[in-house]
Chains A and B, each alone.
Chain A
């Protein structure tokens, strides 16, 4: 058996997938580190270096009203008096224009440019922190959506300003308990245009006339929802904007002199009313500033900005209201609202333009230093440039202040330039999709899927080494990567690893595909049975069969947010459909019922006359019974689902909450008993299965694991649950013991698991040989076993003869019972080997079982039931696959290849996704079960690697189990091989006994090919799912739900693929390891037996 080609091919395919995912995610997901430091009043940012308390200086404004009109595009705010036939969204806010013209030193209207992603939550984060929030703001608040970064609301609270909030309830999630008073209204229903707005209007005016506030935030959602529902070009939008016009008028009428009014949109919208992307229509909102007292030095001048970036609001508001600028703000103060130097007398307590700029620049420089100390994603050369620029400016400014001379206008301009370039640098790092990388990732993934499919079709050719080898593609990949690196060094001076990887992956894929094109005709000559299908392996007729149609539907479903939200049920639906297809298809081929049912039918119609009617009936019975088990566990698994927030009337499964949280004692006991029962059943079923096939007789590491470690771990687990469920106050005197048990039991379980898995890997053979005591004498009288004539024959040939002999003997003794029965007939064998027939599948099964218990440890107790269902479903799938293989007579002859058809592979991969949901997981970040990180570590961790891997293991438990167990699909039809079925046809003296998995050793090439095919088919289906969720994210990046549904789905799908492929590699490697061990075992056996 060739191990290297299989592993290297699989590694190559996985690597190509990884590169594709890495490139796409790098271009799509914007990542930024959060700085968790806050500015305080005592910060030394004041002009002139003298420590002065920031917050005691009397600010320009005492109070502020922030009216946020969601999706208030700048086009909505302009007023064009010459436009005689305005569109529904034009000229509907005349109040802005009227105010600007009639009171030019009191008000301004600017376009207000948001940074992508232009979604409401990111924007609220943006204009309160002054930073550029990305999709993933890596910080310590990954689990909740609350903003922990320094922000305006926090600063207002610090100086004792009372913030009153009303409107979109996103704020309530972002700033929990930060408001003096808060009136949130549900924002989820996009079809509802009025609830939020009317709710605000009920309270807005009464609050404003009262004195119980300093900062009033009102977030209207109607315009945005109207856009999503009808688009901007709709009469409903006109009504909504007119309503907003009235609101602004009424607010202006109620303003007092010390109050600042800001009316703004958080983002714009496209012509279809969506947002999220980076087009100008989405980013350009409006901002309108107004105050009853003069705000600006005079009417608009030439030097006014054309566009105000959204980040600029934060420092401006902070300095106007007299609070420190939030720590991570990269904004720039809006200069027109500050008087020029030397004219500060008019505005009481205000800062001059230069002073404001200086505070701003110092704060930004401080942030930049902190950030570059934490993360390395800002290019170093631009960083050093910014630093030197700041030190130059700072010495300039200090000199100016010290000398007391009037500052040159150049200094202000260069301070502005400095701030602008900082923001530009940050934006380039954090807030821009990289379409080129996204496209490259998409292309690589698409080609990887195609490659995977072709490898699975050509597996036999590849293994025979007559096909396209792996060396040229890898060589080309290396050359291409190096070439790109060299070109990059020549052009830019530094290497961008992602592009080298992209070039390498793409070139190797293309070369492989190009070479595979030539090889597709090869199987025709090689193998008669393949002659019919090989020339046309990409025709629609072969691709549009139900087992491939189902994954196609699954992939298509990833493109719709509704289906992603309902994924758990949708996948169950598909699994059920495909499982029903198996018996229906068998019946269609006339294989489900024994032919004797219809005596009129000519025997010639039936392709498989080899099976006797009773066998057929038995196999069909098994098939249908397993279908029943499968359907039952599918149906029951639906009751373990958790709920997304989008699913309104959904009740999460009661088994998801840990036992400790249950109040009712009786219920708690019931849950505990159920969980322990399932755990016991899990262990019992595994041992039962191993014992049934005679795998528990030997004295190897794997057997030791199965006999002792597996039950011991289960006991540990059950005790751990019991300890965890004890109410803390009931056994006060035992609390120390309980604490110790909570620490020790899971750790003991982890150690046992590690030991068990290690032993399985070290010594995977579960074969027990019993040489007969009388062998030497009997050996003479008996017809000499053929392996005795070993002189002159290569070992390979010896083995070839040896296997059936040993196997036959073993099987016969198994027939007599599990244990050896004393009396043997004369012709009985010299050597008996127990468990040889399941030599491959037994360690794999045991490995899966141990892993399953380990993963169960990381879940809430109630999930034991779900894990039991998982095991049952796995078994049912395997048996159905085995029965249908038998009924189809696929392994009827020795020359048959061991190919696993698409249907079971698809079912297997869908079941992995199904149990992802049925173990209480969801593809959303809030649903990650963080508790898993504290199993065995109740006091937390010091590093991040261990908790992260524990949470990963918990999240992708079902992916791991199904991927590791994937090779079982190859073995199960052999394990469940019908004995005696082909007695008439068995050639020669190989007897009527089944040979089970030894058949694989007789045909190492086909074994390898089938293993490769199975693995690549599984990878193909997983990869296709990743590809389609990548497509969904790329195509729908403007969709309302992209950051809520598609991007998290992409993350989960991609990491699921990573974990699955690694687990699959582990499973395949374990099979290869067993194969090595079996080879060694035979080598040892030969001299022993021929003695």
Chain B
């Protein structure tokens, strides 16, 4: 039914996934001693940056972002400002949640905040791209009948996969294996990234296989 959109989504996801890989591989060539564990924060910010830039570009090019009603520069600027604000607020929100989940409060605040930046760029940013800075719409999307387009469904799947990935990523931390990836927050950010990549693959696949059952209200 929405073959065209599914194809568009698949290619957009492929590009975003590629950007994650590039963000892992390119700095390794450029920066001395770069590794996912060793210089974890560097990798983390490189992935967040890449995903942010590429998603914004892709969704803007595809024209998914809800059309603005007014075309004045001022309105656009305020929208941009609001988006940035939401981005930052969402970082704080994730930081709080992660701390409440048991992350150290003071000792590794930078690591925790970096993880929340990564989570924000993998989840909130996509909400911003697809739905605009509208929290009510975000909440609405995450309900059974809340999705109004293929993109909304894709958003649901990737966000859920990312968060579940980060959640599962916390499991190995208490184990006494002494591996480099058990250090906070490596396993969580790896989990989130792997979850995100899984979501990128799963979303078009799931939509494709369920295209008969899916019905959307028009926007």
Contact = CB atoms under 8 A, between A and B. Distances in A.
Do A and B come from the same complex? Answer: yes
Interface of A: 191, 560-563, 565-566, 569-570, 572-573, 576-577, 584, 587-590, 592-593, 597-598, 600-602, 605, 631, 634-635, 638
Contacts, number: 50
A638 B101 CA distance: 11
A576 B139 contact: no
Contacts of B178: 191
Given A191-B178, A597-B140, 16 more contacts: A560-B175, A562-B174, A569-B174, A573-B170, A576-B100, A576-B101, A584-B142, A587-B143, A590-B144, A593-B140, A597-B136, A601-B145, A601-B217, A602-B217, A635-B99, A635-B100
Given A569-B174, A577-B167, A601-B217, A587 B100 contact: no
Contacts of B144: 588-590
Question: Chain B interface secondary structure, helix, strand, loop or mixed?
Answer: loop
Given A569-B102, A573-B101, A562 B175 contact: yes
B102 A572 contact: yes
Interface string B76-107: 00000000000000000000000111100000
Shortest 7 CB-CB distances between A and B: which pairs? A566-B174, A590-B143, A562-B175, A562-B174, A605-B145, A562-B176, A588-B143
Interface of B: 99-102, 136, 139-140, 142-146, 167, 170, 174-176, 178, 217
A570 B140 CA distance: 31
Nearest to A590: B143
Contact of B139 (A191, A569, A587, A605): A587
Contacts of B176: 561-562
Given A569-B102, A577-B167, A635-B100, A589 B143 contact: yes
Nearest to A566: B174
Contacts of B136: 597
A873 B39 CA distance: 40
Nearest to A570: B174
B102 A573 contact: yes
21 contacts: A191-B178, A561-B176, A562-B174, A562-B175, A562-B176, A563-B174, A565-B174, A566-B174, A572-B102, A573-B102, A584-B142, A587-B142, A588-B142, A588-B144, A589-B143, A590-B145, A590-B146, A593-B140, A601-B145, A602-B217, A638-B102
User: Which of B102, B139, B170, B175 has the most CB atoms of chain A within a 10 A radius of its CB?
Assistant: B102
A213 B146 CA distance: 82
Contacts of A572: 102
Contacts of B217: 600-602
A562 B175 CA distance: 5
A592 B139 CA distance: 10
B134 to A, nearest CB: 12
User: Which of B139, B142, B143 has the most CB atoms of chain A within a 10 A radius of its CB?
Assistant: B143
B86 to A, nearest CB: 19
A927 B115 CA distance: 36
A191 B177 CA distance: 10
Contacts of B145: 590, 601, 605
Contacts of A605: 145
A605 B215 CA distance: 13
B219 to A, nearest CB: 9
B106 to A, nearest CB: 13
Nearest to B217: A600
A602 B216 CA distance: 12
Contacts of A565: 174
Contacts of B167: 577
B195 to A, nearest CB: 15
A601 B146 CA distance: 9
A584 B175 CA distance: 29
A570 B173 CA distance: 10
A566 B172 CA distance: 12
Contacts of A600: 217
User: Which of B100, B174, B175 has the most CB atoms of chain A within a 10 A radius of its CB?
Assistant: B174
A922 to B, nearest CB: 15
B165 to A, nearest CB: 14
B164 to A, nearest CB: 10
Nearest to B219: A600
Contacts of B139: 587, 592-593
A1059 B175 CA distance: 30
Contacts of A561: 176
Contacts of B142: 584, 587-588
Nearest to A572: B102
Nearest to B137: A598
A588 B170 CA distance: 24
Contacts of A563: 174-175
